[in-house]
Chains A and B, each alone.
Chain A
Amino acid sequence: MLEINEKLLNDIHLHGESTYPEEGAGFLLGTETDPRQVVAILPVKNMREDGTRHNRYLIEPLDYLKADNEANEMGLSLIGIFHSHPDHPNRPSEFDREGAQPSFSYLITSVNKGQAVESRSWQLLEDRSKFEEEPINIHE
């Protein structure tokens, strides 16, 4: 279960709309409690090369390190990644699976014609064979 408040989810949707028609991405910062709670988000620049960002995103290791340091300073952990799928369903692709980190939540937002529609969260199975949907609890 992933808990997130309406404002943060709305911020994620706005980010996906702002980067449309390219994919937007960033980190979910929060607590590794059960259920895990998103406390803050940290959008980052999609570092994929020109011409590929409409269906690919890349967060480079130094951006990861910077986000990890920022989370630590806030007393939080990196608990997942959010990214948008412009004009595609909000379910993970095979490419998402290949590059996925275990134990992270992957919050995917479908953005259709520039409008964020819905987000769903996914986690990689232990054997890396596929993603499993993770329920989201949205609160005020």
Chain B
Amino acid sequence: MAILKIPTPLRPYTGGMSDINVDGENVGHALDSLLAQYPDIGKHLYNDDAQLRAFVNLFLGEDNIKDLQGLETPLSETDSLRIIPSIAGGAKG
């Protein structure tokens, strides 16, 4: 099983756990595995169109999966995948 590391603001949705064991041969399946275990985290990862929110980033080692094969990026059982938010906002509505 690969490990998926959860950032602090999302840990209330994983029972406070920072490292979650996930099944799956690629990043998309690993996220499916996370949601199967902790469904309440889903609304903070995906928008109403079931797309990953713009400020949710997934890193495999030091590489953003956007620079690899996206959700199709293969995972091995020893991989460590990490969710890292980018933080955006501002006065303009």
Contacts and interface: CB of A to CB of B under 8 A. Distances in A.
Contacts of B38: none
Interface residues of A, number: 37
Contacts of A100: 89
Contact of B57 (A48, A61, A78, A93): A61
Contacts of A94: 93
A95 B86 contact: no
B54 interface: yes
B12 interface: yes
A103 B44 CA distance: 11
A58 B87 contact: yes
Kindly state the interface size class of chain B when it binds its partner: 20 to 34
Interface in B29-43: 43
B50 interface: no
Contact of A59 (B44, B64, B82, B86): B86
A65 B59 CA distance: 11
A74 B7 CA distance: 17
A78 B84 CA distance: 12
Interface of A: 23, 25, 48, 55-62, 64-65, 68, 77-79, 81, 83, 85-86, 88, 92-96, 98-104, 106, 127-128
